[in-house]
């Protein structure tokens, strides 16, 4: 396998050797201890939904037990397991969003939780039909909007408000197929009920309920999470940052912020800017305080403040193994429970902060909207005071980092597109028309959203980077979020100079619009930004999203959240390519439903393909077929 694009793997190897010397365990030790993974689980045919079980049916039809004790077939068991992953993923994104809305509900002019994008507040308030949205007092309006958003989680009637943004053909399909999502909590509850012992056995019905639940994530929880975070903390604009473990500074107090929810991290950044805290750091012998981000908390903070990116999911252990992290501060999601024990091998304090993700083994400081800045002050002080405990002989920071551009919200992209609008024509600024124009003209062949996690079933970052490099070479513009975005950052794909890796058409577009060929659009909840962008293109051309030459890709996904995302992206009419095969192959019927049959009623389907180059070949065929069908 070619490894020319990342010094990263060599760096990981050195740190893994260091871990061994330090007696520190990593995910690779635990992966080895698992030996062969369970074949029944892998095929999705293990059921432990009731206490008559666990039951496992044969993953190969016609061989062994074909039904669980209750009579559930492989189709039912696989469908239920898959659906429950959708419920888990939707819960995670949406509960995160609810916390953001609660922060907005608690916002006030003089506190640390403030409205930072008032224009967006007024725009969303008007979109949701609040009267006098342009004149109401800012915080009265923010509280009214927050109350409305909280109702999106539990209202007894009606569907998600943001659906009304959608192009009408897509909206009609959702209504026709009964997958227009209702209140978020209701969708999750209904799905858990529906997949309880003795409820639905029809695998297609279970899939449809799962998709509707996932749609309440994409067009509900995630969209609320993104829009309300922007209102609270500012809508991202294009800005430089840097990435990879080399952003850890041996001369400064290093604080790692990791997880997903920006509420805590925003307060930590504020606390670390406090001159008194910086003075204290200097008194302890450090040159200052260096905040570095990981996973989506890192993405949220780099998008809005240019905070440096230490790495993605798989690097959370490596980061601590550098021996130079004074505090690893976490909020929710994608945090290894192994971290506190690992931190104890070094001087690192591990601090968990959410009752939803209380991780035992070191410190717990409960974060709340009422005490947010005080909590953050306490955390930063602990980190600063810990600097003197650092053991210089255990410090080894890889000399690897890469400059990157970040911050491409939909608004930032439109801002860039505005620069190429010829105002002598009837073309207006503030639209995505320049983008649809170059796609329809064939200058670029289509667009891809590359998202998702890391998974040891794929070589770390290899699938992400290969897919993106191959796509831009073939004139497909990429937008990216989550750990995929961090992989792109480390590989230099988010720099303006990456235009040199592109085909001729995309290179020209990058030069004229002054953007990199791969655009960092944020965290995993910010896949809603991608939905928004594609939807704006669909509105611009007044066609269903399913007709556009766009695809979704998750080359290295691993979480329940990713299952929910894949479902709502397909539900939004976008074919979705998965580089890790979901645990469904034990049901050929359910697999066919995902990869073929759902095309008939939703206009999009899943593609499973582990090999990134073969995947890109398939994507190009897909995009060109869409172009032919559109006559472009």
State the DSSP string of 485-540. Answer: HHHHHHTTTTSGGGGGGS-HHHHHHHHHHT--SEEEEESSTTHHHHHHHHHHHHHH
Q: What are phi and psi of 310, to 5 degrees?
A: -75, -30
Joined together, the tokens standing for residue 220 give 């509900």
Query: Between 83 and 510, whose beta carbon lies closer to ligand SF4?
Result: 83
Joined together, the tokens standing for residue 461 give 């970052």
Whether the Cβ atoms of residue 508 and residue 437 lie closer than 8 Å to each other: no
**If contact means CB under 5 to 8 A according to the sort of partner, which of ligand SF4, Fe ion, none does residue 340 touch?**
none
Whether the Cβ atoms of residue 24 and residue 336 lie closer than 8 Å to each other: no
Residue found by looking up tokens 């308030």 in the block: 125
User: Which residues in this chain contact ligand SF4 in the complex, by CB under 6 A?
Assistant: 47-50, 52-55, 68-70, 72, 77, 197
Whether the Cβ atoms of residue 76 and residue 313 lie closer than 8 Å to each other: no
**If contact means CB under 5 to 8 A according to the sort of partner, which of Fe ion, ligand SF4, none does residue 524 touch?**
Fe ion
Q: How far apart are CA 543 and CA 431, in angstroms?
A: 16
In whole angstroms, the minimum distance from the beta carbon of 452 to Fe ion comes to 8
Q: How far apart are CA 261 and CA 277, in angstroms?
A: 24
In whole angstroms, the minimum distance from the beta carbon of 63 to ligand SF4 comes to 17
**If contact means CB under 5 to 8 A according to the sort of partner, which of ligand SF4, Fe ion, none does residue 441 touch?**
none
Number of residues assigned to the chain: 632
Query: Between 563 and 616, whose beta carbon lies closer to Fe ion?
Result: 563
Q: Which ranges constitute the DSSP H helices of 116-245?
A: 118-127, 138-154, 168-176, 184-194, 203-216, 222-233
In whole angstroms, the minimum distance from the beta carbon of 205 to ligand SF4 comes to 16
Q: How far apart are CA 468 and CA 485, in angstroms?
A: 10
In whole angstroms, the minimum distance from the beta carbon of 71 to ligand SF4 comes to 7
**If contact means CB under 5 to 8 A according to the sort of partner, which of ligand SF4, Fe ion, none does residue 50 touch?**
ligand SF4
Query: Between 73 and 528, whose beta carbon lies closer to ligand SF4?
Result: 73
Query: Between 277 and 332, whose beta carbon lies closer to Fe ion?
Result: 332
**If contact means CB under 5 to 8 A according to the sort of partner, which of ligand SF4, Fe ion, none does residue 49 touch?**
ligand SF4
User: Which residues in this chain contact Fe ion in the complex, by CB under 5 A?
Assistant: 296, 482, 524
Query: Between 30 and 193, whose beta carbon lies closer to ligand SF4?
Result: 193
In whole angstroms, the minimum distance from the beta carbon of 68 to ligand SF4 comes to 2
Query: Between 256 and 537, whose beta carbon lies closer to Fe ion?
Result: 256
Query: Between 49 and 620, whose beta carbon lies closer to ligand SF4?
Result: 49
In whole angstroms, the minimum distance from the beta carbon of 300 to Fe ion comes to 10
**If contact means CB under 5 to 8 A according to the sort of partner, which of Fe ion, ligand SF4, none does residue 52 touch?**
ligand SF4
**If contact means CB under 5 to 8 A according to the sort of partner, which of ligand SF4, Fe ion, none does residue 482 touch?**
Fe ion
In whole angstroms, the minimum distance from the beta carbon of 57 to Fe ion comes to 33
In whole angstroms, the minimum distance from the beta carbon of 80 to ligand SF4 comes to 8
Query: Between 115 and 465, whose beta carbon lies closer to Fe ion?
Result: 465
Whether the Cβ atoms of residue 108 and residue 349 lie closer than 8 Å to each other: no
Judged by DSSP in three states, 347 sits in coil
**If contact means CB under 5 to 8 A according to the sort of partner, which of Fe ion, ligand SF4, none does residue 197 touch?**
ligand SF4
- Which of these, 533, 579, 527, 580, lies nearest to 217 by C-alpha position? 527
**Torsion of the alpha carbons at 355, 359, 364 and 365, rounded to the nearest 10:** -40
Whether the Cβ atoms of residue 607 and residue 618 lie closer than 8 Å to each other: yes
In whole angstroms, the minimum distance from the beta carbon of 196 to ligand SF4 comes to 8
**If contact means CB under 5 to 8 A according to the sort of partner, which of Fe ion, ligand SF4, none does residue 278 touch?**
none
Whether the Cβ atoms of residue 231 and residue 237 lie closer than 8 Å to each other: no
Query: Between 77 and 296, whose beta carbon lies closer to ligand SF4?
Result: 77
């Amino acid at each position: 396998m070619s490894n020319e694009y990342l010094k990263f793997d060599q760096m990981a190897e050195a740190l893994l050797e260091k871990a061994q010397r330090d007696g520190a365990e990593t995910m690779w030790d635990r992966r080895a201890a698992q030996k062969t993974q369970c074949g029944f689980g892998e095929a999705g045919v293990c059921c432990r939904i009731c206490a008559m079980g666990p039951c496992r049916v044969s993953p190969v039809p016609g061989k062994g037990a074909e039904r669980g004790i209750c009579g559930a077939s492989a189709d039912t068991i696989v469908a239920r397991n898959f659906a429950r992953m959708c419920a888990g993923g939707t819960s995670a994104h949406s509960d995160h969003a609810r916390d953001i809305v609660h922060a907005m509900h608690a916002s006030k002019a003089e506190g640390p939780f403030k409205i930072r994008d008032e224009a967006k507040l007024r725009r969303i308030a008007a979109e949701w039909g609040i009267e006098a949205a342009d004149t109401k007092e800012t915080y009265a309006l923010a509280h009214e909007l927050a109350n409305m958003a909280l109702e999106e989680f539990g209202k007894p009637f009606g569907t998600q408000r943001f659906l009304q943004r959608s192009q009408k053909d897509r909206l009609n399909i959702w209504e026709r197929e009964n997958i227009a999502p209702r209140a978020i909590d209701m969708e999750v509850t209904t799905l858990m009920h529906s997949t309880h012992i003795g409820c639905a056995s029809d695998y297609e019905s279970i899939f449809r309920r799962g998709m509707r639940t996932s749609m309440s994530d994409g067009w509900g929880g995630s969209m609320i999470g993104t829009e309300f975070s922007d209102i609270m903390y500012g809508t991202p604009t294009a800005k430089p940052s840097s990435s990879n473990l080399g952003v850890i500074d041996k001369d400064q107090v290093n604080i790692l912020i990791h997880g997903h929810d920006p509420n805590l991290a925003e307060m930590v950044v504020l606390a670390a800017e406090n001159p008194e805290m910086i003075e204290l750091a200097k008194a302890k012998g450090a040159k200052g305080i260096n905040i570095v981000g990981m996973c989506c908390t890192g993405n949220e903070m780099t998008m809005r403040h240019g905070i440096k990116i230490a790495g993605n999911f798989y690097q959370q252990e490596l980061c601590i193994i550098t021996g130079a992290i004074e505090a690893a501060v976490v909020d929710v999601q994608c945090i290894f429970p192994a971290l506190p024990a690992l931190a104890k091998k070094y001087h690192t304090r591990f601090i968990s902060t959410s009752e939803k993700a209380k991780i035992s083994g070191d410190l717990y400081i409960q974060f709340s909207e009422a005490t947010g800045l005080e909590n953050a002050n306490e955390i930063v002080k602990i980190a600063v005071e810990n600097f003197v405990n650092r053991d210089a002989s255990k410090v080894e920071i890889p000399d690897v980092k890469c400059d990157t551009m970040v911050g491409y919200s939909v608004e930032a992209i439109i801002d860039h597109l505005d620069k190429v609008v010829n105002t002598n024509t009837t073309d207006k600024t503030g639209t995505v028309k320049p983008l649809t124009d170059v796609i329809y003209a064939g200058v670029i062949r289509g667009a891809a959203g590359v998202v998702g996690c890391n998974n040891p079933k794929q070589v770390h970052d290899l699938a992400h980077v290969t897919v993106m490099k191959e796509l831009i070479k073939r004139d497909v513009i990429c937008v990216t979020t989550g750990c995929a975005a961090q992989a792109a950052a480390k590989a230099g794909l988010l720099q303006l100079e990456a235009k040199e890796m592109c085909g001729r058409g995309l290179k020209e577009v990058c030069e004229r619009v002054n953007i990199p060929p791969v655009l960092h659009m944020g965290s995993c909840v910010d896949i809603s930004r991608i939905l928004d962008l594609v939807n704006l293109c669909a509105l611009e051309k007044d066609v269903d999203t399913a007709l556009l030459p766009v695809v979704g890709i998750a080359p290295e996904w691993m979480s329940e959240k990713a299952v929910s995302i894949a479902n709502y992206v397909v539900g939004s009419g976008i074919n979705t390519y998965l580089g890790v095969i979901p645990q469904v192959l034990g049901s050929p019927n359910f697999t066919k439903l995902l990869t073929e049959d759902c095309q008939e009623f939703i206009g999009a389907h899943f593609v499973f393909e582990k090999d990134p180059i073969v995947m890109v070949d398939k994507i190009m065929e897909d995009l060109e077929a869409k172009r032919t069908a559109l006559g472009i």
